Amino acid sequence: MIAERSGACLASLRSFFSNDPRVLEWGIAPARPTPNAGLLRTWVDDKLHAGMEYMAARLNERMDPKTFHPWAESAIVFAFPYAQPLSASRSQDAYKVAAYARGKDYHDTARTIWKDAEAHLKSDPTLAGMRFYGFADTAPVFERDLASEAGIGWRGKNCCTLNRSHGSAFHLAGFFLDVPLPPTAPVEEFCGGCTRCIDQCPTDAFLGPGRLDANKCISYWTIEARGEVPEDLSRRFGGWIFGCDVCQEVCPWNHKHIRGATPEGRDGVPGEPEGTLPSFPDTGNAWAALLRKGGGFRSRYRRNSPLSRAGRRNLLRNLAMAARNLGDTSVLESLRASLAEETDPVVRREIERTVAALEARAGMP
């Protein structure tokens, strides 16, 4: 009976993924303790997770899927592309949003894929009663380690999953099943002696290969953190408003996937209708107008964009830091208008610093 279910499940998975244009790669990992449990615990013990207390709160579940779901036998992991490719050609004087967030919320895409997979699997009477649990960066699951065990790629020195065919510009998601399945063979690590991601990080956030100090990471501060950003750190953020792509943009495995580098560059996720991607402001003034109270941020991004995780106030804080770093005096009046109506003390202090710095730059008394 077990062998019959396993065979039927494997055949159904192959049938589903071979016909799904949304998915770049997929593989099978055993639902067992992660081989890197010690590294993860040390990372948390050393406080390198910064203020992301959710990482520590359910650490045992992250390290062992069976702590989370005792019935789990196999983890199916799949990769699907960013809605828009990496773009290292963006001006250093530009306001920037990380490539992964320049599309609709990837959780929605992942959820649609795994629900389609569940329906496909359970259409087989042999699998109708199968237990199933989907995940996509929303549960205590160590997706990157599962991806490595499932042969999706290897863990790069920048902590991203790297794949020789697709680089790292993709999301990871998957689902647990109560069916034992043969695991996919892991792939070899191909970073070699390259350390570009470590050497070119603007804030020196990498303590070594695969060891990230989130306390220094631009993505942590512009997405997760809610308080005041140390000024000696924020001045190194450049124009990043939400996230950071530097450690991916400099990776040789991503060079052929960067927008404009080859005809492979494209917008959108295969299999999804065109015209569904949210647009973004392209100037500081446009960002400031959007992020004012009643400026339309909530209606435009609350339901379908990763930007909603940071929220309007923190994005306005980030805009102020970026404008100061870019020396963008054109945004002065817009920031003064925001300051007049903003009540959050952290956001106010950041705008005040920027207004003072830009006025000095413009030679204003």
Cα–Cα dist 121/182, whole Å: 17
Final residue in a domain of this structure, among 127, 142, 177: 177
Tell me whether residue 8 is in a domain: yes
**DSSP SS3 for 115:** helix
- Per-residue pLDDT tens digits of the chain, which is 365 residues long: 788 999 999 999 999 999 999 999 999 999 999 998 889 999 999 999 999 999 998 899 989 999 989 999 999 999 999 988 898 655 667 999 999 999 889 999 999 999 999 999 999 999 999 999 999 988 889 999 999 999 999 999 999 999 999 999 999 999 999 999 999 999 999 999 999 999 999 999 999 999 999 999 999 999 999 999 999 999 999 999 999 999 999 999 999 888 654 333 344 555 555 445 667 898 999 999 999 999 999 988 877 889 999 999 999 999 999 999 999 999 999 999 999 999 999 999 999 999 999 999 988 76
What sign has the CA pseudo-torsion 162, 91, 289, 317?
positive
Tell me whether residue 221 is in a domain: no
For 151, left (φ over 0), alpha (ψ -120 to 50), or beta? left
At residue 272, the pLDDT reads 54
Tell me how far CA of residue 302 lies from CA of 189, 201, 306, in angstroms: 38, 30, 8
Tell me whether residue 260 is in a domain: no
Whether residues 295 and 168 share a domain: the answer is no
Structural domain harbouring 325: 279-365
Tell me whether residue 219 is in a domain: no
Contacts for 210 with CB less than 8 Å, ≥ 6 apart: 39, 155, 156, 157, 159
Domain count for the chain, please give it.
2
Residue 48 near residue 212, CB atoms below 8 Å: yes
Q: Which of 288, 260, 271, 270 is nearest to 354 (CA)?
A: 288
**Amino acid letter, 240:** W
Structure tokens at 302: 């609350």
At residue 282, the pLDDT reads 87
Instruction: Please return the burial class of 227, using the count of CB atoms within 10 Å of its CB with bins 0-12, 13-18 and 19+.
Output: exposed
At residue 261, the pLDDT reads 44
Final residue in a domain of this structure, among 128, 152, 177: 177
Whether residues 158 and 297 share a domain: the answer is no
At residue 293, the pLDDT reads 93
**DSSP SS3 for 78:** strand
Catalytic residues: 137
Tell me whether residue 133 is in a domain: yes
Whether residues 13 and 148 share a domain: the answer is yes
Whether residues 19 and 168 share a domain: the answer is yes
Q: For every residue of 123-188, which 3-state class applies, written as one string?
A: CCHHHCCCCEEEECCCCCCCHHHHHHHCCCCEECCCCCEEECCCECCEEEEEEEECCCCCCCCCCC
At residue 363, the pLDDT reads 84
Whether residues 171 and 314 share a domain: the answer is no
Cα–Cα dist 225/200, whole Å: 23
DSSP state for residue 358 in the 8-state scheme:
H
Whether residues 167 and 309 share a domain: the answer is no
Tell me whether residue 343 is in a domain: yes
Final residue in a domain of this structure, among 177, 195, 227: 177
At residue 279, the pLDDT reads 77
At residue 269, the pLDDT reads 56
Structure tokens at 264: 């492979």
At residue 95, the pLDDT reads 95
Tell me whether residue 117 is in a domain: yes
Sheet holding 25-30, edge to edge: 25-30, 74-81, 170-177, 132-135
pTM over the 0.85 mark: yes
Whether residues 152 and 7 share a domain: the answer is yes
Tell me how far CA of residue 107 lies from CA of 11, 139, 175, 182, 208, in angstroms: 26, 12, 13, 27, 30
Tell me whether residue 90 is in a domain: no
